[in-house]
Structure 1
């Protein structure tokens, strides 16, 4: 049951806020491979982090907040307000995926 005035999209708690940021970054990392399926994992990680940081810095303009008032999808994709700690959490969401992905697809040298 939601408290009075609470929203399904309420992410005011620290766990909800940071886990959502990490998951958003992981989703962007996966999305890079939809656009560029042959991208190397570490390059894709850099692109994903850069995109997330760009969206976060865009929040300094107030434009995403205006769009978020009119659209739930805009709120989910662009956020509402700048939070400097999100810059760290984006890296925390992408870097482990890129490192593990790199380790899994790295060509192994076979000695005969």
Structure 2
């Protein structure tokens, strides 16, 4: 997949994540942010590995998101907390899977369109 559209999608994802947090509060903003966090990881995987299959990119993004979430069971250094979070929250695992699935589906659709 060409890198420029992936880079543009990553920028849009970051703007969407910041916009959701700015415009909304509560569970919607939190879980939308979780899903978008995983979409960004997905896009970074595709940016680094442009020929990666959508299923592998989705598994990698979900797996990395889950690993970061489980790392929160231990102490995260204060410098990394804004990026990695600090509190383990089991529902986040579901929303990471949603983000990876949606990103993989869009990627697959773009490949076959």
Richer in helix (by share): 2
1:1-112 correspondence to structure 2 within 5 Å? 13-62=26-75, 64=76, 67-68=77-78, 71=79, 74-106=80-112
Classify the secondary structure of the residue corresponding to 1:61: coil
- RMSD of aligned residue pairs (Cα, Å): 2.3
Deviations 1:66-104 (A, max 9, x none): x23xx3xx2232111100000000011110120221133
Question: Offset of 1:48 from its aligned partner?
Answer: 0.4
When the two structures are aligned, how many residues end up with a matched partner?
92
Q: Which runs of 5+ in 1 are unaligned?
A: 1-7
TM-score normalised to structure 2 length: 0.71
TM-score by length of 1: 0.72
- Structure whose alpha-carbon radius of gyration is higher: 1
Q: Which runs of 4+ in 1 moved over 3 A?
A: none
